[in-house]
Amino acid sequence: MSTVPTNAPEVKEYKLNVTNPFVPEGPYQQGLRTPLTKLLPYLNEKERQDLLHNKLMLEKDVVNQGKYIQAACELTVCSWFAHIASCTGEKFEYEFVVAPPKDVDCAIWHKGCQFNIEVKCADYEKQQNIAAGADYVVHGLGRLDDYLPLVSRLKDVFGTSSEPSILSAAHHMDCKMKDYLISAQEKFGSNVLPDKLNVLFVCVDDQTDMTKWIGYLRGPRGLFTTDSFAPEASYNNVDVVVLTNLYHRHANLESKDKISAHWDLSQAFNFAIENPQSTKKQEMFSSFSALLPLENSTFLNYLEQADIPEGLKNAIGLNHFVSDQVAKGIHKFQGYSVDEGGSN
């Protein structure tokens, strides 16, 4: 594969022998040219080589999938904002140092505002091991007081039935969400500056998984609630979290035959959640939202009109929304029927 960045004569053509098993030949590998073309002009030669060979590991045949997907998600997000900068003529910086010595993945300046962007990708190895060893997995939203006792009672029921089954509790990742927030805060710094918006992208899996991540922020004892299980001061300079299903769109491609344009952030499902601790003006959030395709309005409008019991909207609303979108031929997620009640 070769990549030919446009409008950047100093960037040579890179001819790569792609052997990374997670970058299969065909549309996915061919699509990689687009984000590289957008981002590479903003990188120096050392950064380009690091991205192609160390982060994306394109010419390696033994690759850690989690590390590759993290790099793929970073590239998808950063190349989107690099493209915006090239179209608007405004400034973009890759691996920009906000609070020395650490850097964020990128920063973009737009209409007098600076947007600092950090990208994190969830690690699902533990959850995958749980699912592999169980017949059924119980999920919960937020920190429900009766969750573990309920799972314990259900285990007894499932284990002593006429056809015993193994039931397990899903891996709860709200501590990982907390770690992402605290890590991002360290990179953004503790100085609250009115013209700088600090944005954390968290790349997650399917619609059931994204519902859980929304719960980590907004559910019982969620990190963006007044009853947070962690001190808010440790992440109060993270102004907004964008949950995006980029992990879902880059992982296990053999089972994602409905998904296309994997490298295009506008084709992903992006849901922004503002930190209520943020003191930034609403105009800054609006300015950032204008740069990024978000599903907030479409999804929330759907919930208002959907025939779903009010008490269940937070738990199953996104599943119903995705099924509705899939029925219309929109495949931001691979999708599954709400009747199946499972994830991919």
Instruction: Return averaged pLDDT per consecutive 10 residues of the chain, 344 residues in all.
Output: 38 82 96 96 95 97 96 98 96 97 97 96 74 60 61 57 60 88 96 95 96 95 95 96 98 93 97 97 96 96 95 93 94 72 40
Question: Do both 30 and 177 map to the same domain?
Answer: yes
Residue 118 near residue 187 (C-beta atoms within 8 A): yes
d(CA 162, CA 103): 57
Question: Do both 136 and 103 map to the same domain?
Answer: no
Report the Cα 73 to chain-centroid distance in Å: 8
CA quadruple 246, 252, 258, 264: dihedral sign:
positive
Tell me whether residue 339 is in a domain: no
- Tokens encoding 185: 């805060």
Question: Do both 71 and 161 map to the same domain?
Answer: no
Question: Do both 130 and 229 map to the same domain?
Answer: no
Tell me whether residue 337 is in a domain: no
pLDDT for residue 343: 40
Domain that holds residue 34: 2-122+173-327
Tell me whether residue 338 is in a domain: no
- Tokens encoding 151: 């799972």
227-249 burial string, b = 16+ CB within 10 Å, else e?
A: ebebeeebbbbbbbbbbbbbbbb
pLDDT for residue 169: 55
Question: Do both 257 and 234 map to the same domain?
Answer: yes
Question: Do both 115 and 223 map to the same domain?
Answer: yes
pLDDT for residue 257: 92
Question: Do both 281 and 189 map to the same domain?
Answer: yes
- The verdict on whether omega for the bond into residue 101 sits within 30 degrees of 0, i.e. cis, is yes
d(CA 106, CA 285): 18
Question: Do both 158 and 230 map to the same domain?
Answer: no
Question: Do both 161 and 41 map to the same domain?
Answer: no
Question: Do both 28 and 158 map to the same domain?
Answer: no
User: In the chain, how many domains are there?
Assistant: 2
pLDDT for residue 36: 96
Question: Do both 155 and 232 map to the same domain?
Answer: no
91-117 burial string, b = 16+ CB within 10 Å, else e?
A: ebbbbbebbeeebbbbbbbbeebbbbb
User: How many other CB atoms sit within 10 Å of the CB of residue 215?
Assistant: 23
Give kind and range of the element (H or E) at residue 148: helix 147-159
Question: Do both 203 and 249 map to the same domain?
Answer: yes
Tell me whether residue 193 is in a domain: yes
Tell me whether residue 320 is in a domain: yes
Residue 115 near residue 108 (C-beta atoms within 8 A): yes
Question: Going along 150-195, which residue ranges are E strands?
Answer: 167-169
d(CA 218, CA 314): 10
Tell me whether residue 335 is in a domain: no
pLDDT for residue 118: 98
Question: What one-character DSSP code corresponds to residue 12?
Answer: P
Tell me whether residue 334 is in a domain: no
C-alpha separations of 8 from 86, 256, 269 in Å: 11, 34, 31
pLDDT for residue 60: 97
- Which of these three, 111, 142, 169, is where a domain ends? 169
pLDDT for residue 146: 60
Contacts of 174 (CB under 8 A, 6+ apart): 142, 143, 215, 216, 222, 223, 229
User: What phi and psi, each to the nearest 5 degrees, are found at residue 268?
Assistant: -85, 170
User: Model pTM?
Assistant: 0.88
